[in-house]
Amino acid sequence: MAAARQPEVKAELFSPLYCRVNGFMLGVFSVMCQFKLARPRYRFFSNRLRTFLLEIGLPADVPARHSDYAAWEAQLPALLPLLRDRSKQLVDFMMLGVFAAHYIRLGLRNRIDAEPMRRAARTVMERNGLRREAFDDLVRGGSKPARTVDELVSPALRMLVELVRGLRPEPKTCFVAMPFSAPFEDYYPSFYRPMLARAGYRAIRAWGGFGREDFSPLLVAMILKSGVVLADVSTSSPNVIWEVGVAQGAGKPVFLIQGDKHEAPADLASHVALGYSAASPEWPDRAVDELHVSIALQAAAIDKLKGDPIRIASGLRGTDVQSMATELMDIFWEASFNGSRSRGESVDPGHLKRGLERIKSRRWADAVADFDCVLDHGFDRGEGGVYAAAHFGRGLALLPLRRYREAETSLTSAAKLGLSDALLMRLLAEVRFNLGRADAARADVDRALVLGPEDRDALLLRTLIAARQGDLDQCRRDGEELGRLSPRGPGTIAAAGYLNLAGGDFAKAADLFRKARVLAFGRAWHFEAGLAALLTGDADGADRDYRVGLRHGSDSDIDDALRDIRFWTGRVWDAQAMQANRHLVRKVRRLLLQVRTPRAWARESGTGRTAAAATAKSARCRRRHGSSRPRGCWPAVRRGPSLPRTAPPQSTAPGAGTGRTPAPRGAPRRRS
């Protein structure tokens, strides 16, 4: 374990909550350790005293043996000036803890010798604006002296709850919920507290459970008066999980952390949890440097959710943190661009770098905007390399947006400027394949494989193109090459599926695509398996595969699936087979379009309607009109994002039921 790295002790560390809890417990522990009742657990008590004294930067030479404690306690008054230099309030509550411990231990209630102690305690409480009678209510069960640790600590904890009750919540105080066992006891001074200090929080923790004392009211009070909670869920300790539940029930933000060899409980698995590894001796310093930024980022995400207490209570999700990180990065980049402009420097390299980062975060449209900024200036300033890279990045970002013609222009421009790369040629081949130019795509992917002979993505793309062209020999050769590069890879299995698809063995192709889907952890080849099942006439299998694909696929994936259905059914089936399977094909197309069209319509129409609203309108239309909808009604299946039109009213006028809707009165009649 690395040596404990203590942050500098600052005045803002000693908040009212910090001073009341730690000062009072310091006084109780210092008195309790001198009695014989503390002897069985003296090692734990002395270690806790030592840890706190180190925390506030004081000498921590607490003796290891109980027999030596009396001599050390006699020197304790010498520490009071040092404590007073840290915080006068800390000294006040330490003395209040000392009075309370003596009062409880000796059973001094209603006795003459208790009066001086009562007056001193009342003076301290008045100085800090506390109710004087709280000390008189300390021993609720009579004047019997405390004989066990539980009998001494429980009344003191009840009094401490009353001392804390009137405080306001402290937004910058973080309650640390941690297991009170090795090695986590050593993590607090070397890891938890420095990390929170770097993130702008003061750390506070409980002083540990001693037995059967009533500790939970104080824990609840500390959590309620803290701003946030940091919980280490590495061991799934019931105490830590209980504290997390209290914090979330009170609407307090919770930062979860866990060791790399542990898993969070199932109920917390969807929450954001920061990982750390304690494998090396110097791990605390490295973990603090890495995780304090993540803590600050989560705090910013929580501030953004202040108006939604349910979201805060249910815990942060990865999307919340990612959204805040994106927003902060945009602010950083804009500030950087403004600084470069004020100094007269070019912002093109910054836009290029931000565009590449946005590609990594899948912000395609924003990346295109950055590359457009570079292309507006880069070539005029003679920065040909930056200009070529911007063209390449723009084409790469346009491909997921399905803006294939613009992507082809950008990628071709990058190639003309001297950028020669296997990835560039493969992307160009993919663009031209999606534009329906299979021969040009085949030539581009051949050039990509010349530049990168072991590019498995290029080999798989050429297998797909060759399957479309009916070149079984090329499919077989590429499949063998993929088998050599990755014998058990999902791409190799998918290539065999394309070969069987082109060869007409659709049942085997469906099995191979499903196997590839399993090897790819369910992320790909759903629609290919559904297509192969469709070509075999397996309605149930096709429906199942396409429905699984709809849960994972994007709009572009659905468009590709519709295109594949048109191509392969037109190629494989003759007119008789097409007629026999028309109901199955229509069912599958309707299934795909019911998901694809409302989402695209809601996104592109600009009316602000959501996909759920569009789908609900489709359902209402089906219930109202059945399978034969009027022509003017917006159906569940549309081929474009055009605006919905109002359904014509049902009428019993002449002409109703003939397939034609009577023209409104006064409208000109159209001649047939």
Q: Which helix (H) or strand (E) holds 143?
A: none
Checking if the pLDDT of 5 tops 60, the result is no
Residue from 146, 95, 148 nearest 123 by CA: 95
pLDDT given for residue 209 in this prediction? 61
Q: Calculate mean pLDDT across residues 537-558.
A: 86
**Contact 213/219 with Cβ under 8 angstroms?**
no
Query: By mean pLDDT, which of 231-235, 285-289, 312-316, 422-426 is the weakest?
Result: 312-316
CA distance 598 to 638: 9
| Confidence bin at 426 (pLDDT 50/70/90) | very high
- CA 429 from centroid of its chain's CA atoms: 35
Q: Which helix (H) or strand (E) holds 172?
A: strand 170-177
Cis peptide bond upstream of 16, omega within 30: no
| Confidence bin at 669 (pLDDT 50/70/90) | very low
CA distance 350 to 355: 8
pLDDT given for residue 652 in this prediction? 40
**Contact 193/55 with Cβ under 8 angstroms?**
yes
CA distance 317 to 565: 38
| Confidence bin at 299 (pLDDT 50/70/90) | confident
Query: By mean pLDDT, which of 20-29, 146-155, 157-166 is the weakest?
Result: 146-155
For the entire predicted model, the pTM comes to 0.61
Over residues 69-125, the pLDDT tens digits come to 888 888 778 788 888 888 888 888 888 888 888 877 776 555 556 677 777 887 888
What are the structural domains of the chain?
1-167 (no CATH), 170-345 (3.40.50.450), 504-621 (no CATH)
pLDDT given for residue 664 in this prediction? 44
pLDDT given for residue 111 in this prediction? 58
Query: Which parts of 417-538 fold into alpha helices (H)?
Result: 422-434, 438-451, 456-469, 472-485, 490-503, 506-519, 526-536
| Close Cβ partners of 612 (under 8 Å, ≥ 6 residues apart) | none
pLDDT given for residue 108 in this prediction? 54
pLDDT given for residue 473 in this prediction? 92
Residue from 94, 70, 67 nearest 82 by CA: 94
pLDDT given for residue 381 in this prediction? 46
Residue 590: C-alpha distances to residues 184, 562, 616 (Å)? 57, 10, 15
Residue from 397, 341, 13 nearest 172 by CA: 13
Over residues 615-632, the pLDDT tens digits come to 555 555 444 544 433 333
Q: Which residue has the tokens 């203590």?
A: 6
**Contact 163/93 with Cβ under 8 angstroms?**
yes
CA distance 459 to 379: 34
The top-scoring range by mean pLDDT among 266-270, 462-466, 553-557, 628-632 is 462-466
